[in-house]
Structure 1
C-alpha cells in the first residue's frame, strides 16, 4: 500500500508545487537525485547513511515522482526539474553542493550545473545519462507517454499488473548484479506504480533526447569537478554512449569504470560511489571528514 511509504522529510511549498526532501547529517552539502521511476528511498536504503558523517545530505524526490508534484503533464525536462529543485535548495538554506545523480538524475545534475553553476561545486554521475543516443526507447515509452496510453493503458497497468512483474523489472535494472536483500521492500514499488507517477516517468524519459541534445551543446560551460562511476555492463545507460564520450568533451570529468557491473553501481559498489563523492568534494575545495 502507498500508505506504507510516507514522506520521510519536509514537504516544501515551491510556488504551489510540493517538493519532498529527506535530509540527514552535518557538513558540506551533498544533494542526491534518483533515477527514472524512483524516489528518495533508493538512496536511504544504503548510500545516504554512508555519507552523513562527513556531509549534510539532502535527497530530493524529482518532480512527478515519490512525494513531489509534477510541474505539468507533458514530461518535465532536466532543466525544469533543476529549476524547481534549486528553489527547494534555497528554501532549505543549502550552500554550494556536490550534486550526485543516478541515471536520469545524472542528467538533471548536469542541467543544474549548467543553469546554476554557483550551486554545483562538483557533480557526481552514477551511471548517468549524458548524451543523445541512436534510435528510440521502444514501443512501451511511446505508448505510455501518449495521450491514449496515459488515459487508458497506464491505469490498467497500475491496477492489474502483477507485483512480481515489478520485482522482475527491478532485477533487470540491476542485471547482471544481484538485487540487495531488502531493497525491493524498502524502495516502495507502490509509489512507482501509481498512474500519475507512471505517466510522469514515461513522459520524462520518452521526451529526454531533444533536451539532452541541447544540453550537450553547452557542455563546454561545465568547469566544476565531475566524477563519473559507470559499469561496463550497463545496458540501460551504456557507457560507450554516455560516460566515455562525455569525458572526452569535458576536461574536468574523471571516469571510474567498473568492469562487468550494471546500472546500479551505488548499490553494488557503494564504497566506490562514496569515494567518488569525497573525491569530488576534495577537488572542489570542500572540507570532508577522513
Structure 2
C-alpha cells in the first residue's frame, strides 16, 4: 500500500510538472518574443526600442511584461519620443544570468545597467506598479542616470501584507517557491485566472485580447510564477527605501486610477508625492491597469512628465487631460 501510494503521488507530481511545462510552451507559442536581447551585468534583457526623440524607458509591474505597454500606450508616444520597454528579469523573455539578489536593489541596478549600455542620456523612467518601486529605488541609488520619474499606479510604501489577490505568491522559502511554481501554481492559476484579472483590472473590464496582445499568457509559466513569488516576498526592501524619498531631486509625477483595487491611491500616490520635493500627484477614472485601459489619458500625462525633464523641450500634445 505504501509503495502504491508513493507511486500514485509521484505520478500526480509528474503530471502536474508536465501540465505546467506544456502550458508554458503554449503561452510562448501564442506570445513569442518580439524585441531585441541585450546582456548586461546580472541579466539577459528582452526589450523593444522604437521611435525617436527624448527617451522614455518603461518598466512593468508584478506578473507583467513589456506588452503591458505596447498593448496601447507606446503607439501614442512613438511619434515624438524614443520609447524603450523592457521585460524585467524573470518576466517575459528576460532572465537573470548569474546567481544573486532578486530584490529591489538588484532589479534597479539592472535597469541602471540597461540605461548605461544603451548610452541613454537621463531618460524619463516610467514604472508601473512594482516597477514604480524599482524606479524609485534607482532614483535613490543612481539619480544621475535619470531625468525624471513617471510612476503609474506605483507601489511606493511598505505594506504589512501583500494585496489579497497576490497573497498565495508570498513564500519566504526559495525551495518551496520553486516546487509550487513547477507543480500546483499553474493549474490553480488557470482556475483563478478570471477572478484574478477582474480584480487587477477592475473596475475597468478585462480586454478580451489581453492574453496575447497584452502578454498575459506569459504570466502562467512556472518561471514567471517563481519570479513573481520571489519579488513579492522581497518587497520589504521598501522599508529602507521609503525614508530616502525626501532626498529625491528629480521631477517626479505619480498617476493613479481612482478605483484601483490593488494599491491604495492615497497611501501610494498622494502620501508619497507629499514626501518627494516638487512631486505631482494626479488621479483619473480607472483601476490598476490604466496603461491598457486608459491609454489616452496616461499618454497625455506622460507627455507632461516628459516635458518636466531638464533639457527636454518637447511640449505635451493636446490629448485627453488627466484630472
Deviates more, 1:113-122 or 1:181-190: 181-190
Q: Which residue of 2 aligns with 1:279?
A: 304
CA distance in 2, matches of 1:263, 1:204: 18
Q: Which residue of 2 aligns with 1:20?
A: 46
Distance verdict in 2 for CA 1:67–1:135, change over 3 Å: closer
2:233 to 198, 206, 210: 206
How far did residue 274 of structure 1 move?
1.3
CA distance in 1, matches of 2:75, 2:105: 28
How far did residue 146 of structure 1 move?
2.6
SS in 1 for 2:307: helix
How far did residue 158 of structure 1 move?
4.7
Distance verdict in 2 for CA 1:217–1:34, change over 3 Å: same
**Aligned 1:22-171 pairs, distance under 5 A:** 22-70=48-96, 76-136=102-162, 139-143=167-171, 145-161=172-188, 163=190, 165-171=192-198
CA distance in 2, matches of 1:24, 1:269: 21
Q: Could you give the per-residue CA deviations for residues 217-246 of structure 1, whole angstroms, max 9, x where no partner exists?
A: 111221111111112221211112211111
Q: Judge conservation of contact 2:163–2:263 (CA < 8 Å) in 1.
A: no
Q: Judge conservation of contact 2:104–2:133 (CA < 8 Å) in 1.
A: yes
Does structure 1 residue 232 correspond to structure 2 residue 297? no
**Higher helix proportion:** 2
1:195 to 222, 239, 245: 222
Alignment RMSD: 2.1
CA distance in 1, matches of 2:185, 2:204: 27
Distance verdict in 2 for CA 1:226–1:218, change over 3 Å: same
The number of aligned residues is 287
CA distance in 1, matches of 2:299, 2:162: 33
Distance verdict in 2 for CA 1:44–1:121, change over 3 Å: same
CA distance in 2, matches of 1:277, 1:166: 30
TM-score (normalised: structure 1): 0.91
How far did residue 3 of structure 1 move?
2.8
TM-score (normalised: structure 2): 0.82
Question: Larger Cα Rg: Structure 1 or Structure 2?
Answer: 2
CA distance in 2, matches of 1:130, 1:16: 24
CA distance in 2, matches of 1:115, 1:122: 14
How far did residue 71 of structure 1 move?
6.1
Distance verdict in 2 for CA 1:268–1:251, change over 3 Å: same
2:292 to 243, 267, 276: 267
Deviates more, 1:109-118 or 1:98-107: 109-118
Distance verdict in 2 for CA 1:180–1:137, change over 3 Å: closer
Q: Judge conservation of contact 2:42–2:97 (CA < 8 Å) in 1.
A: no
